[in-house]
Chains A and B, each alone.
Chain A
Protein backbone atom coordinates (compact mmCIF):
# COMPACT_ATOMS: atom_id res chain seq x y z
CA UNK A 1 0.00 0.00 0.00
CA UNK A 2 1.31 3.48 -0.84
CA UNK A 3 2.28 5.21 2.36
CA UNK A 4 4.05 8.41 3.31
CA UNK A 5 5.17 8.71 6.91
CA UNK A 6 6.79 11.73 8.53
CA UNK A 7 8.74 12.41 11.68
CA UNK A 8 8.73 13.96 14.09
CA UNK A 9 5.01 14.49 14.53
CA UNK A 10 5.69 17.87 16.11
CA UNK A 11 8.72 20.01 16.80
CA UNK A 12 9.41 23.14 18.82
CA UNK A 13 12.51 25.20 18.12
CA UNK A 14 13.81 28.66 18.96
CA UNK A 15 13.87 31.39 16.36
CA UNK A 16 17.12 31.40 14.40
CA UNK A 17 17.78 27.70 14.87
CA UNK A 18 17.90 25.11 12.11
CA UNK A 19 15.79 21.98 11.91
CA UNK A 20 15.36 18.91 9.72
CA UNK A 21 12.10 17.11 9.05
CA UNK A 22 11.99 13.53 7.78
CA UNK A 23 9.80 11.72 5.28
CA UNK A 24 9.74 7.98 4.53
CA UNK A 25 7.66 6.66 1.69
CA UNK A 26 6.71 3.34 0.15
CA UNK A 27 5.20 4.82 -3.01
CA UNK A 28 6.98 3.16 -5.90
CA UNK A 29 7.50 4.03 -8.62
CA UNK A 30 6.92 7.74 -8.23
CA UNK A 31 7.37 10.74 -10.44
CA UNK A 32 7.68 13.60 -7.96
CA UNK A 33 8.15 14.26 -4.28
CA UNK A 34 7.05 17.61 -2.95
CA UNK A 35 7.19 19.42 0.32
CA UNK A 36 4.25 21.65 1.13
CA UNK A 37 3.78 24.18 3.91
CA UNK A 38 0.33 24.41 5.46
CA UNK A 39 -0.54 27.26 7.78
CA UNK A 40 -3.30 26.53 10.27
CA UNK A 41 -6.70 26.71 8.57
CA UNK A 42 -5.19 27.28 5.13
CA UNK A 43 -4.47 25.23 2.03
CA UNK A 44 -1.06 23.68 1.42
CA UNK A 45 1.49 25.78 -0.48
CA UNK A 46 4.25 24.15 -2.51
CA UNK A 47 7.82 24.66 -1.26
CA UNK A 48 9.94 22.26 -3.32
CA UNK A 49 9.52 19.62 -5.96
CA UNK A 50 11.97 16.86 -6.86
CA UNK A 51 11.82 14.15 -9.46
CA UNK A 52 13.03 10.66 -8.58
CA UNK A 53 16.41 11.43 -10.17
CA UNK A 54 17.13 14.57 -8.16
CA UNK A 55 19.00 14.57 -4.86
CA UNK A 56 18.46 18.07 -3.58
CA UNK A 57 16.40 21.18 -4.23
CA UNK A 58 16.50 24.54 -2.48
CA UNK A 59 13.98 27.33 -2.10
CA UNK A 60 15.42 30.13 -0.01
CA UNK A 61 15.91 28.85 3.52
CA UNK A 62 14.29 25.51 2.64
CA UNK A 63 16.42 22.67 1.30
CA UNK A 64 14.92 19.30 0.43
CA UNK A 65 16.93 16.13 -0.13
CA UNK A 66 15.90 12.84 -1.65
CA UNK A 67 17.44 9.38 -1.41
CA UNK A 68 15.48 7.18 -3.78
CA UNK A 69 17.41 4.07 -2.71
CA UNK A 70 16.32 4.30 0.91
CA UNK A 71 13.02 5.99 0.02
CA UNK A 72 13.69 8.91 2.32
CA UNK A 73 13.44 12.64 1.96
CA UNK A 74 14.22 15.45 4.34
CA UNK A 75 13.40 19.14 4.55
CA UNK A 76 16.00 21.34 6.21
CA UNK A 77 14.97 24.78 7.40
CA UNK A 78 17.80 27.22 8.03
CA UNK A 79 17.68 30.18 10.42
CA UNK A 80 14.06 29.61 11.36
CA UNK A 81 11.63 32.50 11.65
CA UNK A 82 8.39 32.85 13.58
CA UNK A 83 6.51 32.68 10.29
CA UNK A 84 7.88 29.19 9.70
CA UNK A 85 5.42 27.93 12.31
CA UNK A 86 3.17 25.63 10.28
CA UNK A 87 2.68 22.02 9.25
CA UNK A 88 5.11 20.66 6.68
CA UNK A 89 3.77 17.91 4.51
CA UNK A 90 5.63 15.48 2.29
CA UNK A 91 3.60 14.63 -0.81
CA UNK A 92 4.36 11.90 -3.33
CA UNK A 93 2.93 11.48 -6.82
CA UNK A 94 2.93 7.91 -8.17
CA UNK A 95 4.34 7.48 -11.64
CA UNK A 96 1.45 6.47 -13.76
CA UNK A 97 -2.24 5.98 -13.92
CA UNK A 98 -3.14 8.49 -11.27
CA UNK A 99 -3.47 12.20 -10.76
CA UNK A 100 -3.77 12.11 -7.01
CA UNK A 101 -1.29 13.25 -4.47
CA UNK A 102 -0.44 10.95 -1.58
CA UNK A 103 -0.02 13.09 1.49
CA UNK A 104 2.17 12.37 4.46
CA UNK A 105 1.11 12.70 8.05
CA UNK A 106 2.82 16.08 8.40
CA UNK A 107 5.16 17.61 10.95
CA UNK A 108 3.79 20.48 13.00
CA UNK A 109 6.59 23.00 13.58
CA UNK A 110 6.40 25.71 16.20
CA UNK A 111 9.08 28.43 16.23
CA UNK A 112 9.36 30.36 19.47
CA UNK A 113 10.82 33.82 19.99
Chain B
Protein backbone atom coordinates (compact mmCIF):
# COMPACT_ATOMS: atom_id res chain seq x y z
CA UNK B 1 0.00 0.00 0.00
CA UNK B 2 1.44 3.40 -0.92
CA UNK B 3 2.54 5.58 1.95
CA UNK B 4 3.98 8.98 2.73
CA UNK B 5 7.66 8.89 3.62
CA UNK B 6 9.73 11.48 5.45
CA UNK B 7 13.44 12.07 5.93
CA UNK B 8 15.28 12.36 8.16
CA UNK B 9 13.50 10.60 11.01
CA UNK B 10 15.44 12.70 13.52
CA UNK B 11 17.28 16.00 13.15
CA UNK B 12 19.31 17.84 15.75
CA UNK B 13 20.38 21.39 14.95
CA UNK B 14 21.76 24.49 16.61
CA UNK B 15 19.56 27.52 17.14
CA UNK B 16 19.78 29.88 14.18
CA UNK B 17 20.62 27.16 11.67
CA UNK B 18 18.54 26.33 8.63
CA UNK B 19 16.88 22.94 8.33
CA UNK B 20 15.08 21.27 5.46
CA UNK B 21 12.63 18.50 6.16
CA UNK B 22 11.77 16.24 3.25
CA UNK B 23 8.66 14.35 2.35
CA UNK B 24 7.64 12.10 -0.51
CA UNK B 25 3.83 12.18 -0.75
CA UNK B 26 1.75 9.38 -2.22
CA UNK B 27 2.43 9.51 -5.94
CA UNK B 28 -1.00 10.37 -7.37
CA UNK B 29 -1.94 12.81 -4.60
CA UNK B 30 -2.37 16.46 -5.46
CA UNK B 31 -2.63 18.19 -2.08
CA UNK B 32 0.18 18.35 0.42
CA UNK B 33 0.35 19.48 4.03
CA UNK B 34 2.70 20.07 6.91
CA UNK B 35 1.66 19.76 10.54
CA UNK B 36 3.67 19.91 13.70
CA UNK B 37 3.25 18.42 17.16
CA UNK B 38 5.14 19.87 20.09
CA UNK B 39 5.82 17.21 22.69
CA UNK B 40 2.72 16.54 24.76
CA UNK B 41 0.52 18.87 22.72
CA UNK B 42 -1.99 18.43 19.92
CA UNK B 43 -1.14 18.28 16.25
CA UNK B 44 -1.26 21.73 14.65
CA UNK B 45 -1.75 22.68 11.02
CA UNK B 46 1.06 24.63 9.37
CA UNK B 47 0.41 24.84 5.65
CA UNK B 48 -1.35 23.29 2.68
CA UNK B 49 0.03 23.26 -0.86
CA UNK B 50 -1.64 22.66 -4.20
CA UNK B 51 -0.70 23.31 -7.79
CA UNK B 52 2.73 24.59 -6.79
CA UNK B 53 1.50 27.23 -4.42
CA UNK B 54 0.41 27.65 -0.84
CA UNK B 55 -3.36 27.34 -0.55
CA UNK B 56 -3.61 27.98 3.17
CA UNK B 57 -1.30 28.65 6.10
CA UNK B 58 -1.68 29.10 9.82
CA UNK B 59 -0.39 31.90 11.99
CA UNK B 60 2.46 29.60 13.03
CA UNK B 61 3.74 29.55 9.44
CA UNK B 62 5.60 32.85 9.51
CA UNK B 63 8.41 34.18 7.29
CA UNK B 64 10.87 31.70 8.80
CA UNK B 65 9.02 28.86 7.09
CA UNK B 66 8.79 28.01 3.44
CA UNK B 67 7.61 25.05 1.40
CA UNK B 68 8.61 23.83 -1.99
CA UNK B 69 7.97 21.02 -4.41
CA UNK B 70 11.33 21.02 -6.17
CA UNK B 71 10.53 18.08 -8.44
CA UNK B 72 7.69 15.70 -9.17
CA UNK B 73 8.05 13.67 -6.02
CA UNK B 74 9.50 15.66 -3.11
CA UNK B 75 7.78 18.19 -0.87
CA UNK B 76 10.00 20.12 1.52
CA UNK B 77 9.60 22.33 4.57
CA UNK B 78 12.41 24.78 5.24
CA UNK B 79 12.93 26.59 8.50
CA UNK B 80 15.36 29.43 7.83
CA UNK B 81 16.65 30.26 11.28
CA UNK B 82 15.53 27.73 13.84
CA UNK B 83 14.43 28.70 17.33
CA UNK B 84 14.27 26.57 20.44
CA UNK B 85 10.47 26.55 20.20
CA UNK B 86 10.64 24.95 16.75
CA UNK B 87 11.53 21.68 18.46
CA UNK B 88 8.67 19.36 17.57
CA UNK B 89 7.58 16.42 15.48
CA UNK B 90 6.82 17.55 11.94
CA UNK B 91 4.34 15.52 9.94
CA UNK B 92 3.85 15.65 6.21
CA UNK B 93 0.51 14.56 4.78
CA UNK B 94 -1.03 14.22 1.35
CA UNK B 95 -4.49 13.76 -0.09
CA UNK B 96 -5.88 12.92 -3.49
CA UNK B 97 -8.31 15.78 -3.49
CA UNK B 98 -8.62 18.85 -1.28
CA UNK B 99 -11.18 19.94 1.20
CA UNK B 100 -12.75 17.10 3.16
CA UNK B 101 -10.55 14.36 1.75
CA UNK B 102 -8.68 11.88 3.92
CA UNK B 103 -5.14 12.99 4.54
CA UNK B 104 -2.46 10.32 4.81
CA UNK B 105 0.33 11.11 7.23
CA UNK B 106 3.99 10.27 7.13
CA UNK B 107 5.90 8.91 10.13
CA UNK B 108 7.22 12.34 11.03
CA UNK B 109 10.58 14.03 11.54
CA UNK B 110 11.56 14.76 15.11
CA UNK B 111 13.39 18.09 15.16
CA UNK B 112 15.40 19.12 18.18
CA UNK B 113 16.82 22.65 18.30
CA UNK B 114 19.60 23.20 20.84
Q: Could you tell me which A residues sit within 8 Å of B by CB distance?
A: 31-32, 34, 41-46, 49, 89, 93, 96, 98-106
B105 & A45 in contact (Cβ 8 Å cutoff): yes
User: 1/0 per residue B25-46: CB within 8 Å of A?
Assistant: 0000001010100000011110
Cβ distance A6 to chain B, nearest Cβ, rounded Å = 9
Q: Give chain B residues whose Cβ lies under 8 Å from the Cβ of A44.
A: 43, 91, 105
Q: Could you tell me which B residues sit within 8 Å of A by CB distance?
A: 4, 31, 33, 35, 42-45, 48, 50, 55-56, 58, 89, 91, 93, 98-100, 102-108, 110
Given the interface contacts A34-B102, A49-B102, A96-B99, does A41 sit within 8 Å of B108 by beta carbon?
yes
Given the interface contacts A31-B99, A93-B100, does A99 sit within 8 Å of B43 by beta carbon?
no
Most chain A CB atoms below 10 A, which of B31, B35, B48, B105: B105
Q: Give chain A residues whose Cβ lies under 8 Å from the Cβ of B89.
A: 41
Across the interface, B106 reaches (CB within 8 A) one of A43, A96, A103, A104, namely A43
Across the interface, A101 reaches (CB within 8 A) one of B45, B50, B106, B110, namely B45
Cβ distance A34 to chain B, nearest Cβ, rounded Å = 7
- Distance, CA A43 to CA B44, complexed state (A): 13
- Distance, CA A48 to CA B109, complexed state (A): 25
Given the interface contacts A101-B45, A106-B42, does A31 sit within 8 Å of B100 by beta carbon?
yes
- Distance, CA A53 to CA B55, complexed state (A): 28
**B47: nearest residue on chain A (CB-CB)?**
A100
Across the interface, B110 reaches (CB within 8 A) one of A31, A41, A96, namely A41
A99 & B107 in contact (Cβ 8 Å cutoff): no
Across the interface, B33 reaches (CB within 8 A) one of A34, A41, A99, A106, namely A99
Cβ distance B28 to chain A, nearest Cβ, rounded Å = 17
Q: Give chain B residues whose Cβ lies under 8 Å from the Cβ of A41.
A: 89, 107-108, 110
